[in-house]
Amino acid sequence: MQELISAIAQKTHAYTAFKWHGMRCSFTKRAKDAMLEPDMMDLPIRPRRNRKSAAMRGLMQETTLTAANLIYPMFVQEGDENTPIDSLPGCTRWCVADIAAECQRLYELGIPCIDLFAVVPEEKKDAAGSEAWNPDGVVPRAIAAIKAAVPDMLVMTDVALDPFNTYGQDGIVREYANGSYEIMNDETVEALCRQALCHARAGADIISPSDMMDGRIAALRAALDAEGFTGVSLLSYTAKYASAYYGPFRGALGSAPKFGDKKTYQMDPANAREALREAELDAAEGADMLMVKPATLYLDVIRAMREHTNLPIAAYHVSGEYLMVKAAAASGWLDERACMMEALLSIRRAGADMILTYAAPQVAAWLREK
């Protein structure tokens, strides 16, 4: 072969052809620099043609991400101050007086929906979590303020007892003489109905139960309909996993469990088929939308659920997923914008119609620049 190459180099217009891995290639001696360069491969199918320019790539794009796909989780607290959240950089615990103005800004960015979470002082917590259905509580007041200022903003509210009870558990806790505990299902569902009705009366558009109790969708639908709130939607936390990635959120909310864990009601991260069973039950009980939480670590579950149901699917890009990108970017190891956009696009590609993310305001701003 070396002799052949030498012979070609000596002849300016020499030509040879040979087969390389079954493909016909040709080489031509170029006089200007005496370099041998490939001229043409006999390839009728060239996928790169569909990637040859920004305009062509846009034409071929299969998945899109817009501000209309985003839901922003927001924290509301008592008092007159707004407090930056150390565990969630870029996020704030808002006071009722200022949360409406922030929602106006979000709406102008194109974000159509926010999800409200209550930050409850310790002195207002009790074993039953009764502050959850206080009509003068921080969540009902925030709902009313937001709907008065930004009527078209969709207000979704979290329904669960962990921010409100002294145990940091999503349900009502029964203590036994031997020191053990049990999260009571049916008693919790009754309390959740009180909480949901409190929010609906204040003007909530969507109720989103995150507790993972059995039968709560049917009970919530019946309770809402019985009081005439037939237009209030239910977004069920259908597959909420007992994930290790919720830590920054629990720090923001002050809702970490005071004992044990949440594995008797949240799902085992090892299971995917179980999520489809939960989806079937939620759909049969009257859920309007289903959710998978977390998101990027459970793309397979999102995809399986997308293929299993025609209901809209939400995915929660949780605090740990968000903070990993923020922390790596702050250290200079990752491009925050590129990585955050890629993560959210992957969730959409897996089949999610909407994404709850703490990055929503920044992403909406980036999308507007684009």
Residue 24 pLDDT greater than 90, yes or no: no
Is-catalytic flag, 262? no
Check whether domain 66-369 has CATH 3.20.20.70, yes or no = yes
Q: How far is it, in rounded angstroms, from Cα 23 to Cα 16? A: 14
CA distances from 133 to 75, 124, 140 (A): 17, 12, 9
| pLDDT at 259 (0 to 100) | 78
DSSP states of 327-349: HHHHTTSS-HHHHHHHHHHHHHH
Residues 6+ apart with CB under 8 A from 10: none
Give the closest residue to 309 by CA, choosing from 339, 331, 277, 270. Answer: 277
Higher pLDDT: 16 or 259? It is: 259
Residues 6+ apart with CB under 8 A from 219: 189, 190, 192, 193
User: Which residue among 29, 262, 293, 326 is the active-site one?
Assistant: 293
* CA–centroid distance for 23 within its chain: 46
Q: What percent of the chain has pLDDT over 90?
A: 80
- How crowded is residue 296: how many other Cβ atoms within 10 Å of its Cβ? 21
Would you state the structure tokens that stand for residue 6, as one six-digit string? 């030498």
* Domain boundary assignment for the chain: 2-47, 66-369
Which of the 8 DSSP states describes residue 47? G
Give the closest residue to 74 by CA, choosing from 106, 112, 105, 115. Answer: 115
Is-catalytic flag, 370? no
- Judge if the upstream peptide bond of residue 163 is cis by omega within 30 degrees of 0: no
What are residue 172's DSSP bridge partners? Answer: 184
Instruction: Note whether 306 and 348 are within 8 A (CB).
Output: no
Query: What confidence category does residue 98 fall into, taking pLDDT thresholds of 50, 70 and 90?
Result: very high
CA distances from 169 to 191, 254, 366 (A): 13, 12, 37
User: Which residue among 240, 258, 262, 326 is the active-site one?
Assistant: 240
Sign of the alpha-carbon dihedral angle for 220, 115, 144, 251 = positive
Polymer length in residues for the chain:
370
Residue 20 pLDDT greater than 50, yes or no: no
Residue 195 pLDDT greater than 90, yes or no: yes
| pLDDT at 2 (0 to 100) | 53
Give the closest residue to 322 by CA, choosing from 216, 224, 247. Answer: 247
318-346 confidence digits (pLDDT tens):
999 999 999 999 999 999 999 999 999 99
111-167 confidence digits (pLDDT tens):
999 999 999 999 999 999 999 999 999 999 999 999 999 999 999 999 999 999 998
pTM summary value: 0.87
Q: Residue 196: enclosing H or E segment and its boundaries?
A: helix 185-202
Please state at what angle helix 185-202 crosses helix 216-226, rounded to 10 degrees.
40
Residue 189 pLDDT greater than 90, yes or no: yes
